[in-house]
Amino acid sequence: MSKISTNLQIIQRRIAAACAIASRAPSSVQLLAVSKSFAAERLIEAAAAGQTSFGESYLQEALVKIPQVEPRVNATLEWHFIGPVQANKTAAIAAHFDWVHGVDREKIARRLSSARTAKQAPLQICVQVNISGEASKSGCAPEDALALCASLAQLPHLVLRGLMAIPAASENAKDSRAAFRRLRELADGIRASGKVAAAQFDTLSMGMSDDFETAIEEGATIVRIGSALFGERQS
Ligand SMILES: *Cc1c(COP(=O)(O)O)cnc(C)c1O
């Protein structure tokens, strides 16, 4: 059995254990395989082991890899763009991805919506929130999230699915739990506001290799896992 398929099984077991602690169904958590910096061969290996959703952060890299991977996989893959979105990249992102997790400005959302063609399914998006209040981080301020979500909910070719966050790396395990909890409470408030389509606003994209179990205990529905699945990235 390949290393990646072994890692995948281990991660799925850890997800199930965290769900058991939180009294949640394991099917309520989606594992997003964060494949940035890994070669197409590794993604194909993960797909052969049953993984169907992949997260990429760098557009140019993804545009090379997606056409290398798709013809060699017997399943429909779901591509998630998880990096910061620059305005001049929105057309290509809208054309090649199913989900975008890092939307933090109305301008970006408008461009994504208008770039999505009527033939395509609507683009699934999450609003990224700067939940730890870091000066250098992307993401909207927590106090601006409701207004931003309310305006994005009006855009025709997008479906607003929820919130995404990356807590500060400096936060210890206890603090990242607090950050995950703040994101969940923020999402609960937005869902209850009546300003978004509540039934579709069901996603909390939070938790990575080092903290995904904590994120699941606090309500994560998508965990974004790279190194625990594929190994350490070369920088
Ligand atoms: C790289 C990355 C991840 C995965 O990080 P790991 O620690 O390797 O699991 C998750 N989310 C985002 C936004 C990333 O850029």
| For the chain, the helix, strand and coil percentages under 3-state DSSP, each to the nearest 5 | 45, 15, 40
- What is the domain-level CATH number for residue 208? 3.20.20.10
What value does the mean pLDDT of the chain take? Answer: 96
pLDDT over threshold 80, residue 170? no
User: What amino acid occupies position 126?
Assistant: C
Which residue among 34, 57, 129, 229 is best mutated to probe the pocket of ligand 1, counting the most ligand atoms within 8 A of its Cβ?
Answer: 34
In terms of Cα–Cα distance, which of 168, 184, 189 is closest to 217? 184
In-domain check, residue 233: no
Distance 226 CA to ligand 1 centre (A): 6
- Distance CA(30)–CA(42), nearest Å, equals 19
pLDDT in tens, 85-98: 999 999 999 999 99
Which residue among 30, 100, 204, 208 is best mutated to probe the pocket of ligand 1, counting the most ligand atoms within 8 A of its Cβ?
Answer: 208
pLDDT band at 19 (very low <50, low <70, confident <90, very high): very high
When divided into structural domains, the chain yields a total of: 1
Domain that holds residue 154: 3-227
Residue 158, burial from CB neighbour count under 10 angstroms (0-12, 13-18, 19+): buried
- Mean pLDDT for 73-86 is 97
- Distance CA(234)–CA(226), nearest Å, equals 12
pLDDT band at 113 (very low <50, low <70, confident <90, very high): very high
In-domain check, residue 234: no
Q: Count the alpha carbons within 13 Å of 196 in the hemisphere toward its beta carbon.
A: 31
Distance 221 CA to ligand 1 centre (A): 15
Vertex 129, ends 63 and 28: CA angle to 5°? 75
In-domain check, residue 111: yes
In terms of Cα–Cα distance, which of 134, 135, 132, 160 is closest to 146? 160
Tokens coding 164: 């995404």
pLDDT over threshold 90, residue 45? yes
Which residue among 7, 10, 224, 232 is best mutated to probe the pocket of ligand 1, counting the most ligand atoms within 8 A of its Cβ?
Answer: 224
- Mean pLDDT for 188-208 is 98
The verdict on pTM exceeding 0.95 is: yes
pLDDT over threshold 70, residue 172? no
In-domain check, residue 153: yes
Atom of ligand 1 nearest to the CA of 102: 13
Assess contact for 102 and 127: CB atoms under 8 A. no
Distance 158 CA to ligand 1 centre (A): 24
- Mean pLDDT for 14-38 is 98
pLDDT band at 175 (very low <50, low <70, confident <90, very high): confident
- Distance CA(124)–CA(165), nearest Å, equals 16
Provide residues with CB under 6 Å of ligand 1.
34, 36, 57, 82, 166, 208-210, 224-228
Tokens coding 209: 């290799």
